[in-house]
Amino acid sequence: MCPARPWPFAIIALTVRLLRMKPGHGEVLLAEGDVDVREDEERLVEEFRRQLDAGMWAAVPLQSVAGRREAVMVKTFDQVPREADRVIFFPRAAGGA
């Protein structure tokens, strides 16, 4: 069992974490906050925009009703599902050799 796996019965996440994959480091915590708190939400939205402006893609890993895990790609903070506990930013895809 994965120790970092989120609690399976969490329906509504209390806080949202913005994470970014980074070469030579693994993920980095960019921001964290409660979307119900205005200041937190503004900070999260600002960081979200900054990452997208830097050319990153944003994905939200989720668990479907059937129990399968999948990701949702989001382009605005509004698109982040309510139950999401984290948004992961990663460099945009480019065709390889």
Partner 1 sequence: MLLALSATVIVIVALLWDLAWPPLKDAYERHRARRALVPASMDGYDPGRERRAEQRARELLCSCVNEEEWAMYRDLGFIRVWGSLAQGPARSGGGSGGERRPAPGAPYAYLVYPHKPIVAYLPQTRELLSEYCVEFPDETRPYGSARLPDSDDVLAKWMALTGDERRVIGLANLHLPGRQVDPKHVRRDLWRLAQWERARLERSSPSEGSVPAP
In the complex, the residues that contact partner 1 under the rule CB under 8 A are 1-6, 19, 21-27, 54-55, 57, 59, 61, 68-73, 88, 90-97
CB of 3 to partner 1, least distance (A): 7
CB of 20 to partner 1, least distance (A): 9
Sign of CA dihedral 64, 34, 78, 47: negative
Nearer to partner 1, 37 or 54 (CB): 54
Nearer to partner 1, 38 or 95 (CB): 95
Nearer to partner 1, 26 or 82 (CB): 26
CB of 17 to partner 1, least distance (A): 11
Q: Which residue has the tokens 């949702």?
A: 72
Residue 90 region by backbone torsions, left for phi larger than 0, else alpha for psi between -120 and 50, else beta: beta
CB of 25 to partner 1, least distance (A): 5
Task: Spell out the long-range contacts of 79-84 with Cβ–Cβ below 8 A and sequence spacing 24 or more.
Answer: 80/16, 82/12, 83/10, 83/11, 83/12, 83/13, 84/13, 84/16, 84/60
